[in-house]
Amino acid sequence: MNRTITMNLNGIIFHIEEDAYDNLNKYLSTIKGYFKNSEGCDEIMNDIEARIAEMLQGKVSNAKQAVLMADVESVIAVMGKPEDFAGEGAGADNSENGSGPIGGNRNSYGDNKRRRVFRDPDDKILGGLCSGAAKYFDIDPVWFRLAFALSFFLFGTGLFLYIILCIIIPKAKTTAEKLEMHGEKVDINNIGKVVNEEFDDLKKRMKDFGNEVKSPENKERLKSTIQNAGNFLGDILQNIIKAVGKVTAFFLVFIGIALAAGLLATLFGRGTISVFGSQGSPIHFSLYEFAAAVLPSDLPIEFAVIGLILFIGIPVSLMIYGGIKYLFGIRQKNKIVKYAANILWLGGLTLLIYVGVETGSDFSEEAVTKQTIEIAPQAGTTLYLDLKPAVEDCLDLTYAHHRKIRFGDWTMLSKDENKFRLGYPNLNIVQSETGSFELVVVKSAQGYDKKEAAARAKNISYNITQSDSTILFNSYFDIGNADKLRAQDVKLILKVPVNKTLFLTRRMEKIIFDVDNVNDALDSDMVNRKWVMTKEGLECIDCSGLENIHNHK
């Protein structure tokens, strides 16, 4: 059995006997030698190799996977030898042209002439379907086009049928397929002839086009056409830019008026900040109330108001002014308006910087005060920790009508003539160093100096209530209006002796914060459960498997 070789022919892998491979390789080299001086040499060889690969595919199967010498000779017989059409001496530079195992005359090569239907890409109106079908039946394509045109309007199915046929019938892409579409033999003679004719036709058309372009009349006409096209496109682009500019100017004026009206209504109409609470109900808080709560007592609120009007209002006014000028085509520049606007804007910026510096200086120092409260639950009982009903529970009717505004973790629950009500304190639970319960209340505030900050911290009002073994915590703390909002905060530390138990009600979730425990439970998982203080820390009594609770969420 002959040794087989794996070869790649036109992207298709074949297993071919060694002597058959040598013969086919020599055949292709001979053909390439005959067409080496042709401009379409590469395209000719690609089409020939594609046709040979197609024919060899038909000669292999699962039972016969290798290409034999007989298969190669059969393909060569169909394709033809180059010396048969090139004439004697045409390939004299190829010493192998007259040798080899392939002999006989052209008539012995077999008939490779067959007609197949393709879509014609060279003579098409839409998809080349009518032209391709006409070549298959050897009639004028106008009859097919007329039939499809009538079916479009008379029967209503012509378009659908045309699309289906375009999908089913392939387009003639290669030279071999174009030859089959015309019913001509697909051999090296016709392939080479068609490719060379296409190149000659392309050269002729390019030459005619070049001669036409070089003529003086056409040069002047082309120059005028290009100039007119440029002017036309320039006019269109200019009109588009003008239209976009008008629309943009209109929106700038509209948005500027809306911003100006909103700014004036907010500042002079004592507008409010509107946000949404946890239950989705709107919450409103006056900007003047907020400014009065933050700005120092000796700093007039009007400084901040005027600063905001100038800092925001001047750019908004210039936006309206510029939009109106563009809309009405006013090109005159007024330097007085420009300089006055710059001076006023800088004045507003200066006022805001002054207000910011004066207010910021009131946050320069921080002071902390601590208060320790002893808690004595009944002997042998569990200490219950609960939260007094909050505004959100709609049980505290005294403050149910008050407004609240939230900034991160800091929440203003209400404000009246005497005080601000803020929430929420943070509660931590740790192990007691003594044998008794203790609650440490840590109050902090900021001020211009330590003394002022300490006074503000001391003035924070926070209360708890003990009833038997229940401790009721407030969810808020109060500060006086005179103390202003100076980052006041309340932190609670409950110290629990070892072996003592406590119970956290569900409402305690609002104030407990990052409480360490043996079960590694989250704060939200600690409520509504009983805990005991061990030497290792808090441990849950009535929640088996709590250490894995957050792994199942």
The residue with greater pLDDT, 533 or 40, is 533
Q: Is the peptide bond before 109 cis (omega within 30 degrees of 0)?
A: no
* Digit-coded pLDDT (tens) for 265-293: 766 655 555 544 444 444 455 677 777 78
Mean pLDDT calculated for residue range 56-61: 84
Helix, strand or coil, per DSSP, at residue 171: strand
CB 414 within 8 A of CB 439: no
Cis omega before residue 321 (within 30°)? no
How close are the terminal C-alpha atoms of the chain, in Å?
Answer: 71
Helix (H, G, I), strand (E, B) or coil at 199: helix
The string of pLDDT tens digits covering residues 451-506 is: 999 999 999 999 898 888 899 999 889 998 888 888 899 999 999 999 999 999 99
Q: For residues 520 and 44, which has the higher predicted lDDT (pLDDT)?
A: 520
Say what the pLDDT of residue 532 is. 92
Average pLDDT taken over every residue of the chain: 78
pTM for this prediction: 0.50
Whole-number Å distance between alpha carbons of 77 and 109 = 4
86's enclosing H/E stretch is helix 83-86
Given pLDDT bands bounded at 50, 70 and 90, which one contains residue 388? Answer: confident
Report how far residue 30's alpha carbon sits from residue 98's, in angstroms, rounded to the nearest whole number.
Answer: 10
Give me the mean pLDDT over the 358-386 stretch. 87
Lowest mean pLDDT of 187-201, 364-378, 463-477, name the range.
187-201
H or E stretch covering 546: none
What the block records as the tokens of 141 is 């394509």
Specify the 3-state DSSP secondary structure of 103.
coil
Beta strand ranges found along 338-417 (DSSP E): 365-375, 383-387, 405-407, 410-415
pLDDT at 368: 95
Task: Give the mean model confidence (pLDDT) for residues 428-449.
Answer: 91
Sign of CA dihedral 226, 231, 235, 237: positive
**Quick check: 354 pLDDT over 90?**
yes
Residue 325: is its pLDDT beyond 60? Answer: yes
* Amino acid residing at 170: P
Q: What is the pLDDT of residue 212?
A: 62
Q: What is the pLDDT of residues 327-344, one digit of tens each?
A: 888 877 788 888 999 999
Order of strands across the sheet that contains 501-504 = 464-467, 470-473, 383-387, 501-504, 529-534, 537-540
Q: Domain boundaries in the chain? A: 4-109, 119-171, 253-361, 365-551
User: Edge-to-edge, what's the strand order for the sheet holding 66-67?
Assistant: 4-9, 12-17, 66-67
- Check residue 96 and give its pLDDT: 40
- In the chain, the amino acid numbered 225 is T
**What is the spatial distance between Cα 367 and Cα 211, in angstroms, rounded to a whole number?**
95
Give me the amino acid identity at 423.
Answer: G
